[in-house]
Amino acid sequence: MSQLAEQKFISDQDQIEKLDPQAVETLLEKLPGWKVVSVEGVNRLERTYQFDDFEDALDFVNEVGEIAEEVNHHPVIEFTWGTATVTWWTHFIDGLHKNDFIMAARSDQVFQD
């Protein structure tokens, strides 16, 4: 597992603040394939994964859902035959926190497994 994926997820909302642009860029460098997208002015992390079939995509979506439930931090996931797009951001700060990068790295780990 990547070092980022192994980091502790912060669940105390009082300790969660939006990352500055430099911190976002630094963390993004550790996540090949991910990009920052802006939706209605809110920065989000997004990656589309490719699969051989619908069942593999569905299995991936379910596994990402399980890791999201473990920490009570949920992405938007869109999937269809052969693809799944995962989008992470921290809703209550309307932006990106290190937790989003940790969960993106954990999503990559699910994909690699």
Task: Express each pLDDT in 52-93 by its tens digit.
Answer: 999 999 999 999 999 999 999 999 999 999 999 999 999 999
Residue 112 lies in a domain: yes
pLDDT reading at 1 higher than 50: no
pTM of the model: 0.94
CA distances from 16 to 1, 24, 79, 103, 108 (A): 24, 14, 29, 15, 23
pLDDT reading at 107 higher than 70: yes
Between strands 76-80 and 35-39, the pairing is unpaired
Domain that holds residue 72: 44-113
- DSSP class of residue 66 equals H
Quote the number of domains for the chain: 1
Contact 99, 107 (CB under 8 A): no
Residue 101 lies in a domain: yes
- Mean pLDDT taken over the chain: 94
Backbone conformation region of residue 94, classed left if phi is above 0, alpha if psi is from -120 to 50, else beta: left
Contact 31, 88 (CB under 8 A): no
Residue 65 lies in a domain: yes
Q: Which residues contact 26 (CB under 8 A, 6 or more apart)?
A: none
Residue 22 lies in a domain: no
Between strands 42-50 and 83-88, the pairing is antiparallel
Q: Taking residues 19-29, what's their average pLDDT? A: 96
pLDDT at 85: 98
